[in-house]
Amino acid sequence: MLPKEISAKAPPVKIQGIKTKLVPYIARHIKWDGKGKWIEPFTGSGAVAFNIQPNKALLADTNVHLINLYSAIQSKRLTAGSLQDYLFKEGEKLRTIGEEHYYDIRKRFNDEGSPYDFIFLNRSCFNGVVRFNSKGKFNVPFCRKPDRFRPALVTKICNQVAWLGKVLHGKDWDFVCQPWEKTLAASEPSDFVYLDPPYVGRHTDYYNQWDEAAADNLAIKVRQLKCGFAYSMWRKNQYRENTHLDQHFADCKFIDIEHFYHVGSSEELRNAMVETLIISDENFIPDLGEDKKSSGDLQIALL
């Protein structure tokens, strides 16, 4: 069974489309006995699995840097203590040398791919955006705050890593870098799959190539799954509705969530958007006696 009430914690990496705020709704509306694996083909920051905390999990993503980081924390090659030493050292260099040091770390990361450097860049890049160019190189500029790694921030990041280290301890979880097709192919009837693919036409970078054809292909494969699923998807914005939903998921339960995007550089990305969580019929738990909820800047309605 999934935990009934979760006060979701933020994972150590921030990425576009992070679903920390959605976790309580996911947990509350999914019925699953937890006997199989919790599968995420699009793990991203890991916010969902890390808070749901199933016993067995297959967590995959094509972004090798995310997978490397979680594997490093799982194997204790990266701990809160080792990260603290690293961030104090590199943070002090950033403070004294300035942005040149950020670009040195960025070059080193693009040459060597260290998970320590990934966290450094993720937490000191402009607007907190994770973006890789067409050659798979991280290309986000500096946030222009040389004193970025003040003790309070270092402590906060290290606490997030310590929390994740504890969550991973003793769990039968596999982190794998692979495309979603391979991940879905590994599912069995007792599993549950949570899917959060990139949105068509948004956040496109090297690791987020996504178009209508990919979305259709995924939807078709999801409907062929032999296990339960939940699928995060955009439903509408002020300009249009996502017709893809009725085409593939008309018989499923939808939970709509209206919210404002805060991550992103343009006005367009900050617009209100209705997202939906689609849950396979047999796995859906309704909220009895309540048909509307709101939490902070989230609004949720059961349809």
Ligand X SMILES: C[S@@+](CC[C@H](N)C(=O)[O-])C[C@H]1O[C@@H](n2cnc3c(N)ncnc32)[C@H](O)[C@@H]1O
Site for ligand X, rule CB under 6 A: 15, 17-19, 41-42, 44-45, 47-48, 61-63, 179-180, 196-198, 207-208
Cβ atoms of 236 and 274 within 8 Å: the answer is yes
Q: Using the minimum distance from each CB to ligand X, give the nearer residue, 32 or 42.
A: 42
Q: Using the minimum distance from each CB to ligand X, give the nearer residue, 88 or 163.
A: 163
Q: Using the minimum distance from each CB to ligand X, give the nearer residue, 19 or 106.
A: 19
For tokens 């178009």, name the residue.
211
Residue 250 CB, nearest approach to ligand X (Å): 23
Residue 15 CB, nearest approach to ligand X (Å): 5
Give me the phi and psi of 201, to 5 degrees please. Answer: 80, 5
Select the residue whose beta carbon is closest to ligand X and give its number: 44
Distances, alpha carbon 235 to alpha carbons 6, 71, 263, in Å: 25, 34, 19
Q: Using the minimum distance from each CB to ligand X, give the nearer residue, 10 or 227.
A: 10
Strands 56-61, 298-302: pairing kind: unpaired
| Burial class of residue 275 in the structure, from the number of CB atoms within 10 Å of its CB (0-12 exposed, 13-18 middle, 19+ buried) | buried
Query: What kind and span of H or E run contains 86?
Result: helix 80-97
Residue 62 CB, nearest approach to ligand X (Å): 4
What is the C-alpha R_g of the chain? Answer: 19
Three-state DSSP class for 260?
strand
Residue 21 CB, nearest approach to ligand X (Å): 10
Q: Using the minimum distance from each CB to ligand X, give the nearer residue, 94 or 129.
A: 129
Residue 11 CB, nearest approach to ligand X (Å): 7
Q: Using the minimum distance from each CB to ligand X, give the nearer residue, 98 or 179.
A: 179
Cβ atoms of 179 and 215 within 8 Å: the answer is no
- Nearest-CA neighbor of 24 among 287, 215, 288? 287
Up-side HSE of residue 159: CA atoms within 13 Å toward CB? Answer: 8
Residue 298 CB, nearest approach to ligand X (Å): 14
